[in-house]
Structure 1
Amino acid sequence: MAHTLTVNGTSHQVDLPAEVPLLWVLRDALNLTGTKYGCGVAACGACTVQIGGEAVRSCQVALADVWDEVTTIEGLGTPEALHRLQQAWIDHQVAQCGYCQSGQIMQAAALLAQVPSPTDAEIDDAMAGNLCRCGTYPRIRAAIRAAAQTQEG
């Protein structure tokens, strides 16, 4: 069945079953591979994207249940004009293996959209569902704080 969805500002028509997870629509049908498969049960956060500005686990959202525009890591910034979080990630050398980072950044972007100047406790609470096997949590928190200050300044 054909479905229309808007991803990163572009309308797409995909002919896939309604129950296909958004993660696979993005990766396989639209070739947007920045969103990663981690666990498949919404426990790790590697597949985090935004739907209507809300951070969601794309492995658990069926194509038919996409209710608003989807934003992936590819739609957050560009190589020429990085999003302030992407720049903060670089400045604070957050990534080690990098696998979880697109999900981490998408979760952090949703947080900053809701809470422009989060406390450390708010950052920790918002990011708790995004796992990093490399353990870069202190750098993640520092990068989010830096991006929040960039937004303020």
Structure 2
Amino acid sequence: MTSDVIGTEQSAGAHRVPVSYTLNGEAVSCEVEARTLLVHHLREDRRLTGTHVGCDTSQCGACAVHVDGRAVKSCTVLAVQVDGCEVTTIEGVHGDDPKDLHPVQSALQGKHGLQCGFCTPGFVMTALDILDTDELLTDEKVRQGLIGNICRCTGYQNIVDALVELSADRQESGE
């Protein structure tokens, strides 16, 4: 049997499953193939291309999104698993006005932590998760929190500096 025949048989018999969830504040109801990864569903079906496919092995973090308020690597989650959940992608992250940057995005921009930008959406989504604490973040705590994200442009120190400074600013303002 050739791989072309196998691929055709798998596609022809693909099992589709209904899924309903909230995506960036909007209700979504659709059908997805049971084997579709969330990252591919977001990029291909929902056309939200800010979530990047960087490695397909869950090592780089470029595909990070939030599911029910927690950062997850969307290449490790099946789309059917978000049924009933709230999903937020980088397209759903902004300041008080949707035209404004979120404070995390502004902090990264201010400290030149953006570099080429490929990994930035994943870093932003992970940063939101690690900043969701009352504790003051140190370099070590930020680095530990970002351990699952890879920046190939070596912008780590600027990213760490931005998040430590943002954490300190939040502590001072009582946020």
Q: TM-score range by the shorter chain?
A: over 0.9
Could you tell me the percent identity over the aligned residues?
36
Provide runs of 4+ in structure 1 moved above 6 Å: none
Gaps of 5+ in 2: 1-16
CA deviation map 1:22-76 (0-9, x unaligned): 1011111111111000011111100001111111100110012126211111111
- 1:15 is matched with which residue? 31
1:54 paired residue number? 70
Letter aligned with residue 121 of structure 2: S
Question: What is the alpha-carbon distance in structure 2 between the residues aligned to residue 59 and residue 14 of structure 1?
Answer: 19
**Counterpart check, 1:118 vs 2:137:** yes
- The residue number in structure 2 matching 1:148 is 167
Q: Which residue of 2 aligns with 1:45?
A: 61
**Residue 130 in 1 paired to residue 149 in 2?**
yes
**Could you tell me how far apart the structure 2 residues matched to 1:115 and 1:99 are?**
29
RMSD: 1.5
- Match of 1:26, SS state, is helix
Secondary structure, counterpart of 1:134 in structure 2: coil
Paired position in structure 2 for 1:72: 89
CA drift of 1:116 comes to: 4.6
Gaps (5+ residues) in structure 1? none
Q: Which secondary structure state, in structure 2, belongs to the residue aligned with residue 140 of structure 1?
A: helix
Supply the AA of the counterpart residue of 2:81. D
Aligned length: 153
Higher relative contact order (CA 8 A, sep 6+): 1
Q: Partners in 1 of 2:122 and 2:154 — Cα distance?
A: 15
Mapped contact 2:60–2:150 kept (Cα < 8 A): yes
Kindly indicate whether residue 128 of structure 2 is the aligned counterpart of residue 109 of structure 1: yes
Q: Which SS does the other structure have where 1:131 is aligned?
A: coil
Query: TM-score normalized by structure 2?
Result: 0.82
CA distance in 2 between partners of 1:115 and 1:138 (Å): 22
Greater CA radius of gyration, 1 or 2? 2
The alignment partner of 1:114 has SS state of coil
Which one is further off, 30-39 or 71-80?
A: 71-80
TM-score by length of 1: 0.93
Alpha-carbon separation, structure 1, partners of 2:141 and 2:164: 11
